[in-house]
Amino acid sequence: MRVLVASSEIVPFAKTGGLADVTGALPKALRRIGVEADCILPFYRCVDRDRFPLKGPGRAIRVPLGHRDEAGSVEETDAGDGVRAFLVRNDRYFGREFLYGTKDGDYIDNCERFTFFCRGVMEWILRSGFRYDILHCNDWQTALIPVYMKTLYAGHEPFRETGTVFTVHNLGYQGLFWNHDLPLTGLGWDLFTPRGLEFYGKLNLMKGGLVFADVLSTVSATYSREIQTPEYGYGLEGVLYERRDDLYGIVNGIDDKEWHPATDRRIAARYSAEDLSGKADCRRDLLAEFGFPADDVPILGLIGRLTAQKGFDLVEQIGEWLAGQRVRVIILGAGERKYEEAMEELGTRYPDRIAIRIAYDDALAHKIEAGVDMYLMPSLYEPCGLNQIYSMKYGTVPVVRATGGLADTVVDADADPEGGTGFIFRRYDAEDLKDAVSRALAAFPDRPRWEAIVRRGMALDFSWEASAREYLRLYERALRKRGRKG
């Protein structure tokens, strides 16, 4: 099977968020399980030409955009692990300093830029002779590809048997543009309806992907159900509900090379489920880093963007209560001013209990994951979540709200004594959060039980191969929908 993963950002070429990690890791994992996967992304200025030399001359493409044709080319380079990376080049659109906009706001022509990218991918496949069984598109920037597949390019030879998979990583960004951008896409106004790409009088590109792709997925099964409700659906719950039979959830894998306690060079000592002694070293190292005494008071860690989504309203509400428990809290992250200020205030008031580091610090993040005893994720919503997975991998017990990927990856140790890997609360409510933290703190002194919980978490397989196998099943479903045998 041949798969082309299309994305607006792919590690190691361009990255602004988690999307790039997924679309960077997935093709490689697919290759490892025998799928011929390639990837395609825009040729941004940030793509390192020295690290990734281009192979031969690019292939010229002409992309119809509204009333004119825009010229461009598609270059090829090596993404590593046998994955070919194709770069859609047009310096007017992508030769910019940033991917989507400056710090002041999004570029004014983003619709035009990513229409060029999507249609460029179609034109390139049409002319290049490359044949793919599956086009795997991600988020609104590539959402027009499934639309083109079913409309302007329907029935064209290279696409006749091609299936499309559209993965939603972040439903909050939908690619919403004014109606006068529709002619740019080359799609007729008859698609500009509430059943098509129209969203309250505006053009919604993500909706196109949701309506036209053969199979839809998001990054966890629970999240895939949650987004069918008004609470999580951002107005797209209707179309998601309508396509619920084609909507699947696949949890992201984690990068074993980056995140593995047995090989991690950023932490004080290496360790494994068999021998947890290294974790004690890491714990001492972390306590020293934050100036805490090396005692056995349980440590609760929290890393992430300081936003409402990550549940910092709840953290703020239980701050006083936490300070009164027998626990130390270490928080790393940056984000909204008001949460930064609130957390800093807590740290100032309870310096012996709560430590705050307002920063993004990857090395410190590794140290925290390895050094703390339990990890807090009270997210308002969490499509997938990675830190709870890193935590379990590093022998740290997650305390999470049962939402999105958190609900799918963590099992409550009280509800399921034999299989529990963490502690879970359901309602987005301070009292429920307190209850979960209390249960974790109560379990901590029971060493055999605690270590059993830790070992169960460490034994779980969150490798990309496991995810890739699930994606492969998804591709086969898409092909069956296209009337082909997987």
Task: Point out which residues bind another protein (CB under 8 A).
Answer: 66-67, 101-102, 104-109, 179-184, 188-190, 192-194, 198, 201
Shortest spacing between CB 102 and another protein, in angstroms: 6
Return the residue matching tokens 């249960």: 439
The residue (of 110 and 222) whose beta carbon lies closer to another protein is 110
Take residue 334 and report the two structure tokens written for it. 């940056």
Cα–Cα distance measured from residue 31 to residue 1, given in angstroms and rounded to the nearest whole number: 10
Query: Which string of b and e fits 203-234 if b means at least 16 CB within 10 Å?
Result: bbbbbbbbbbbbbbbbbbbbbbbbbbeeebbb
The residue (of 98 and 350) whose beta carbon lies closer to another protein is 98
Residue in 122, 67, 110, 113 with CA at minimum distance from that of residue 93: 113
Contacts of 66 (CB under 8 A, 6+ apart): 183, 184, 186
Shortest spacing between CB 53 and another protein, in angstroms: 30
Does residue 176 come out as left (phi exceeding 0), alpha (psi in the -120 to 50 range) or beta?
Answer: beta
Shortest spacing between CB 71 and another protein, in angstroms: 18
Residue in 311, 373, 318 with CA at minimum distance from that of residue 346: 318
Strands 134-138 and 163-168: parallel
CA angle 371, 372, 375 (to 5 degrees): 140
The residue (of 55 and 92) whose beta carbon lies closer to another protein is 92
The residue (of 66 and 80) whose beta carbon lies closer to another protein is 66
Shortest spacing between CB 197 and another protein, in angstroms: 10
The residue (of 111 and 474) whose beta carbon lies closer to another protein is 111
The residue (of 90 and 138) whose beta carbon lies closer to another protein is 90
What is the torsional sign of CA 203, 209, 212, 218? Answer: negative
Take residue 397 and report the two structure tokens written for it. 């017990």
Contact, 391 vs 456, CB < 8 A? no
Shortest spacing between CB 114 and another protein, in angstroms: 15
Shortest spacing between CB 453 and another protein, in angstroms: 48
Shortest spacing between CB 200 and another protein, in angstroms: 10
The residue (of 183 and 417) whose beta carbon lies closer to another protein is 183
Query: Which string of b and e fits 109-148 if b means at least 16 CB within 10 Å?
Result: ebbbbbbbbbbbbbbbbeeeebebbbbbbbbbbbbbbbbb
Shortest spacing between CB 141 and another protein, in angstroms: 17
The residue (of 182 and 386) whose beta carbon lies closer to another protein is 182
